[in-house]
């Protein structure tokens, strides 16, 4: 195999190779696929296409590191390296933000203020959190004492989506490493760049070879499938579509891997008439359209109490019309490009369906004029659809929201829960009792009251129903990424 050192890697165009055992590699057979900038549809580099062979090499490297240098370090040494990864991400934040924007089409104003700083914070947070984490101990009368010790799960596969590439990858990788595991990462095929650079960053932070490995490729019959069925992988943390989660679960069942899934959502955004309407409007603008609506927590089903329906809708439509769609590198841009032409087509199909179903498109519903060469779509607000419309039931994952009026609390709770998803919800009300009452009845892993995406990394993050399996964040991440052994000593 052709060996390249990490520093030789940064040539233009950006060609993404696998990072295995501390070195960059092409695929064994030299196979690659194109990486396309969704804002221009230009090829911005090639991506090595990995499969079983590359996953085997990466898993073997991760296993050696797990039982070798990573295990033999003190916890302090490991934590110092993990923190250093966060430091280097901050030092290189401009370069990383640029790559993230090239790869995803999201505005640079977002990648530079959210994706990349949060990626660094993930390492800093979990390094610190690990220092303070204890375990449990119980005394059984005067018969025995029990205490639990924590150890790594082993080699963990981290399979990632394209919407928040480095943010979500590091949200898994940082606690995975902090708990003493080693990792094989499968970045999304559409967004391989920042993950590739992370290899070099880990190397520069002093991470021993083999602790972090990155294999590029696709899902089915490719690197993703090879990782999820690999007999020497102990656990998989996956973020992506619910349908993909089901396939991974089946593959992982053969060796009963531990699983953590963060899947799709069709999240209700419920606005009661007593809410602060201006705040509800401006935050709903974010929960609807930030990151082009390509966010699993996006509040894509908006329910407004009838008394406030017209006021909300007028203000919401007016502000949405002012959002600027276009060049992700323009600092004034609010909405960049969607991830790919296939995905844009898929989102457009939902809009066509809404038209056929007699929905009213209050704004948007089309590609912006003069920008046909990129994957751009105007932010779209639709009313007048039936409760059973596919637009109300299915995750669109684009800048498209539906707005529906409601008359009472019970009715809106029933509508909010009428879905097989259960990731997040948002409530807008100034009635304290109602906020508590409704929040406790919404079937979702997270409920934001008078806010959205306000995150504290110690809190449980994840979904119920078909939106996920388990929770990550704070102690919940540590629980997933470690095994407990209870030691019982008879007195
Ligand atoms: P999307 O269609 O939005 O890209 P996916 O759930 O298909 O969402 O993809 C999320 C991640 O899961 C990607 O890294 C993708 O390559 C990977 N993936 C897709 N299918 C499989 C599969 N069958 N096994 C393992 N990984 C997969």
Question: For position 284, which CATH number holds?
Answer: 3.40.309.10
Q: pLDDT value at position 12?
A: 60
Q: Is residue 68 part of a domain?
A: yes
**Which residue's alpha carbon is nearest to atom 20 within ligand 1?**
219
Q: pLDDT value at position 8?
A: 36
User: Is the same domain home to 205 and 341?
Assistant: no
Q: For ligand 1, pick from 16, 219, 293 the residue to mutate: most ligand atoms within 8 Å of CB.
A: 219
Give residue 159 CA to ligand 1 midpoint distance, Å: 7
Q: Is residue 8 part of a domain?
A: no
Q: Is residue 328 part of a domain?
A: yes
pTM for this model (two decimals): 0.96
**Which residue's alpha carbon is nearest to atom 23 within ligand 1?**
220
* CATH number of domain containing 97: 3.40.605.10
Contact 228, 55 (CB under 8 A): no
In the chain, the number of structural domains is 2
Catalytic residues: 262
Q: Which of 274-288, 363-377, 402-416 has the lowest mean pLDDT?
A: 363-377
Contact 47, 189 (CB under 8 A): yes
User: Is the same domain home to 221 and 95?
Assistant: yes
Q: Is residue 273 part of a domain?
A: yes
Q: Which residues line ligand 1 (CB under 6 A)?
A: 159-162, 186, 188-189, 218-220, 224-225, 228, 240-241, 244, 247-248
User: Is the same domain home to 379 and 476?
Assistant: no
Give residue 200 CA to ligand 1 midpoint distance, Å: 24
Query: What atom in ligand 1 is closest to the CA of residue 227?
Result: 25
Phi, psi of 379 (to 5 degrees): -65, 135
Q: Is residue 351 part of a domain?
A: yes
User: Is the same domain home to 318 and 436?
Assistant: yes
User: Is the same domain home to 172 and 210?
Assistant: yes
**Which residue's alpha carbon is nearest to atom 15 within ligand 1?**
219
List the structure tokens of 416.
């909010």
**Which residue's alpha carbon is nearest to atom 17 within ligand 1?**
219
- Say whether 37 sits in a helix, a strand or coil: strand
**Which residue's alpha carbon is nearest to atom 24 within ligand 1?**
225
User: Is the same domain home to 224 and 281?
Assistant: no
User: Is the same domain home to 476 and 432?
Assistant: no
User: Is the same domain home to 219 and 321?
Assistant: no
User: Is the same domain home to 278 and 370?
Assistant: yes
User: Which of 246, 167, 187 is closest to 50 using CA atoms?
Assistant: 187
Q: For ligand 1, pick from 52, 55, 159 the residue to mutate: most ligand atoms within 8 Å of CB.
A: 159
Contact 143, 491 (CB under 8 A): yes
Q: pLDDT value at position 131?
A: 85
Q: What is the pLDDT of residues 266-296, one digit of tens each?
A: 999 999 999 999 999 999 999 999 999 999 9
What sign has the CA pseudo-torsion 334, 339, 341, 343? negative
User: Is the same domain home to 143 and 224?
Assistant: yes
Q: Is residue 9 part of a domain?
A: no
Segments forming the whole domain that contains residue 47: 16-262+466-488
CA gap 18, 58 in Å, rounded: 9
Q: Is residue 457 part of a domain?
A: no
Give residue 51 CA to ligand 1 midpoint distance, Å: 14
User: Is the same domain home to 235 and 320?
Assistant: no
User: Is the same domain home to 112 and 189?
Assistant: yes
Residue 348 has pLDDT above 70, yes or no: yes
């Amino acid at each position: 195999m052709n060996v390249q050192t990490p520093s030789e890697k940064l040539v233009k165009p950006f060609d993404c190779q696998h990072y295995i055992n501390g070195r960059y590699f092409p695929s064994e057979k030299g196979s690659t696929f194109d990486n396309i900038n969704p804002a221009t549809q230009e090829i911005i580099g090639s991506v090595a296409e990995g499969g079983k062979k590359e996953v085997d090499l990466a898993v073997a490297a991760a296993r050696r590191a797990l039982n070798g240098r990573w295990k033999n370090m003190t916890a302090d040494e490991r934590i110092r390296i993990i923190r250093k990864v966060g430091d280097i991400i901050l030092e290189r934040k401009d370069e990383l933000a640029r790559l993230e924007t090239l790869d995803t089409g999201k505005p640079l104003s977002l990648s530079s203020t959210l994706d990349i700083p949060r990626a660094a914070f993930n390492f800093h947070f979990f390094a610190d959190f690990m220092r303070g984490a204890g375990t449990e101990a119980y005394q059984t009368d005067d018969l025995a004492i029990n205490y639990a010790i924590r150890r790594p799960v082993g080699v963990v596969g981290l399979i990632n989506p394209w919407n928040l590439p480095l943010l979500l990858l590091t949200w898994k990788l940082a606690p995975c490493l902090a708990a003493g595991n080693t990792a094989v990462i499968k970045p999304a095929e559409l967004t391989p760049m920042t993950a590739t650079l992370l290899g070099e960053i880990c190397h520069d932070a002093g991470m021993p070879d083999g602790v972090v490995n990155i294999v590029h490729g696709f899902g089915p019959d490719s690197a993703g499938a090879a990782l999820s069925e690999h007999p020497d992988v102990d656990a998989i943390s996956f973020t992506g579509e619910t349908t993909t989660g089901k396939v991974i679960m089946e593959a992982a069942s053969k060796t009963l891997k531990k699983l953590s899934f963060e899947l799709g959502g069709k999240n209700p955004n419920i606005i009661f008439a007593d809410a602060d309407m201006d705040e509800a409007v401006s935050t709903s603008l974010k929960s609807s359209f930030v990151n082009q609506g390509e966010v699993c927590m996006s509040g894509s089903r908006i329910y407004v109490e009838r008394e406030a329906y017209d006021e909300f809708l007028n203000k919401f439509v007016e502000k949405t019309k002012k959002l600027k769609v276009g060049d992700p590198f323009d600092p004034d841009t609010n909405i960049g490009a969607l991830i790919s032409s296939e995905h844009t087509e898929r989102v457009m199909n939902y809009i066509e369906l809404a038209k056929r179903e007699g929905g009213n498109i209050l704004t948007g519903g089309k590609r912006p004029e003069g920008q046909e060469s990129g994957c751009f779509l105007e932010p779209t607000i639709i009313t007048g659809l039936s409760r059973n419309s596919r637009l109300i039931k299915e995750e669109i994952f684009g800048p498209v929201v539906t707005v529906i009026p409601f008359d009472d609390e019970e009715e809106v709770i029933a509508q909010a829960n009428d879905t097989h998803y259960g990731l997040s919800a948002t409530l807008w009300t100034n009635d304290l009792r109602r906020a508590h009452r409704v929040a406790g009845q919404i079937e979702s892993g997270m409920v934001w009251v008078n806010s959205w995406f306000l995150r504290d990394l110690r809190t449980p993050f994840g979904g119920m129903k078909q939106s996920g399996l388990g929770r990550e964040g704070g102690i919940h991440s540590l629980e997933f990424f470690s095994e407990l052994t209870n030691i019982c000593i008879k007195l």
